[in-house]
Structure 1
Amino acid sequence: MVKTVIPVANDSKLQAQTGYSIKIDQTEIALFKVTSGEVFALENRSPHPKGGVLSEGLVSGKYVYCPVYDWKISLENGMVQAPDEGQVQTFTVEKEGDIIFLII
């Protein structure tokens, strides 16, 4: 499988604990920079039936809270935390200097 490396943001322009929405082809992706400086990328839609735009959610530690139903979702693996269930797709992120790349 061929992987594509796409530059998506400047690290210096991302504010910690804030979500950013990007679109690659037809896929909406949310970028999150946490206070440690790590950047994570997730599918920008909560897994519950009514959805929810994750880039608009509250970030705490390495979790984002869905703005619609307050589901707690891991930025590291996309897993919804108990007692809720589900998972969102995650994407590999790499940094080189000030550039953030998404590997898809």
Structure 2
Amino acid sequence: MNWVDICSVTDIPLRGARIVKTAVGCVAVFRTDDNEVFATSDRCPHKGGPLSEGIVHGKKVTCPLHNWVFSLETGEAQGADEGQIATFATQVVNGRVMLDASELTTGVAAE
């Protein structure tokens, strides 16, 4: 893996997100109530809504446009919704959020 330091965990709002712009598209980096960090594509597959502006609840995010819910762990749509978003490996080391940049060279973030 090719870990890149992107920010302090406290730079991401609790139950919120920050955007990381990459060569293949924007990645949303989320922080849960439990200070867990997840990274996904920023685009909802339904209508292209910005997931970084969605509501984080538990380990899920709800799209701000049409309320589709996605697992931050797997990217799978929840409930009756269909679809999936790309997820990317993250880790927190000494309070710093690390993102695996090697996964961002395949083009999946922009799909």
Question: Deviation digits for residues 28-51 of structure 1, max 9, x if unmatched?
Answer: 000110011100000000011x21
Q: CA RMSD in A?
A: 1.0
Q: Which amino acid aligns with 2:83?
A: G
Amino-acid identity (%): 36
Q: How many residues align?
A: 101
Q: TM-score, normalised by structure 1?
A: 0.91
Q: Which amino acid aligns with 1:7?
A: D
User: How far is 1:11 from its partner?
Assistant: 1.0
Matches of 2:10 and 2:61 in 1, distance apart?
21
Counterparts of 1:1-104 in structure 2 under 5 Å?
Answer: 3-48=1-46, 50-103=47-100, 104=103
Gaps of 5+ in 2: 104-111
Q: Which amino acid aligns with 2:5?
A: P
Matches of 2:67 and 2:24 in 1, distance apart?
26
Query: After alignment, is 22-31 or 52-61 more displaced?
Result: 22-31
Query: After alignment, is 25-34 or 5-14 more displaced?
Result: 5-14
Compare the two structures and name the one with the higher helix fraction.
2
Runs of 4+ in 1 over 6 A off after TM superposition: none
Matches of 1:14 and 1:66 in 2, distance apart?
18
Gaps of 5+ in 1: none
DSSP 3-state at the match of 2:67: coil
Matches of 1:36 and 1:84 in 2, distance apart?
26
DSSP 3-state at the match of 2:89: strand
Q: Which amino acid aligns with 2:59?
A: K
